[in-house]
Copies of this chain bind each other. A is one copy, B any other.
Amino acid sequence: MKNKNELLLLLTDRWCDWEAGYAIAVANSFSDYTVKTIAMDKSPKKSMGGIRAEVDYIVGDYQNFEELAMIIIPGGLSWEENDYEELAEFVRLAVKENIPIAAICGATLFLCRHGFLDQVKHTGDSLELFQSQKNYHGEALYVPAQVVVDGGIITANETAAVEFAYRIFQILEVDSEEEIDEWYDKFQKGAIR
């Protein structure tokens, strides 16, 4: 990962504020990675929460794949009614370069529509993920999952922003294994203390 220091946050209209929030804040502020925003065009992309985020790159121009470590795609309120073929084309280029893709909530629907997901492993829609496991007869079972990691693709439910970040930190090696586990325990326990 040494020479790959760029992380892209793919923004769309009404992107969801909380879903990638933990992942980008920790990676950008407490590791060697730098987060940049990318979108279809240069006009600021307003979040569900009313944040008008400026755009660093547009998908049609992006060339920096050799420094790109991951594309993170938050959900939001515009995935259902848009195909976003141009964004899918960009993700296709990245997948060809073996760049991991992390998608949460509505963004998993987008990946599914464009054929990026192994349907056996990432079953379900943006509201409920399932993970396949085999029982002792060798039959596939589908177990509800909050996050599924399969090869270069991470998918997560909207309620699993902390676990989504945790899996991203493991893949990016933002810190030692122990530090990452400690972060996860603290934020998961924070929820229920």
* Contact surface of A with B, Cβ cutoff 8 Å: 9, 14, 16-29, 34-37, 44, 47-54, 77, 144, 146, 157-163, 186-193
Contact of A18 with B48 in the complex, beta carbons under 8 Å: no
| Nearest CB of B to A190, in Å | 2
- Which residues does chain B contribute within 8 Å of A190, judged by CB atoms? 146, 157-160
Cross-interface CB contact of A25 among B25, B47, B159, cutoff 8 Å: B47
Q: 3 closest A-B pairs (Cβ-Cβ)? A: A159-B190, A24-B49, A18-B21
Counting every copy of the chain, the complex holds: 2
The DSSP consensus for interface residues of chain A is mixed
**A186 and B161 within 8 A (CB):** no
The reply to whether A192 and B193 form a contact with Cβ atoms under 8 Å apart is: no
Q: Nearest chain B CB to A165's CB is how many angstroms away?
A: 8
CB of A21 within 8 A of CB of B49, answer yes
Contact present for A49 and B77 (CB under 8 Å): no
**Known: A49-B9, A191-B188. Contact between A29 and B162, CB under 8 A?**
no
Kindly identify which residue among B35, B49, B160 contacts A28, using a CB–CB cutoff of 8 Å.
Answer: B49
Residue A52 contacts which of B23, B53, B188 (CB distance < 8 angstroms)?
B53
- Residue of A50, A54, A144 with most chain B CB atoms under a 10 A cut-off: A50
Q: Which of B35, B50, B158, B187 contacts A50 (CB 8 A)?
A: B35
Q: A18-B21, A159-B186, A188-B191 are in contact. List 17 more A-B contacts (CB 8 A).
A: A9-B50, A16-B21, A17-B21, A21-B21, A24-B50, A26-B48, A28-B48, A28-B49, A35-B50, A44-B54, A51-B51, A53-B53, A146-B190, A146-B193, A188-B192, A191-B191, A192-B192
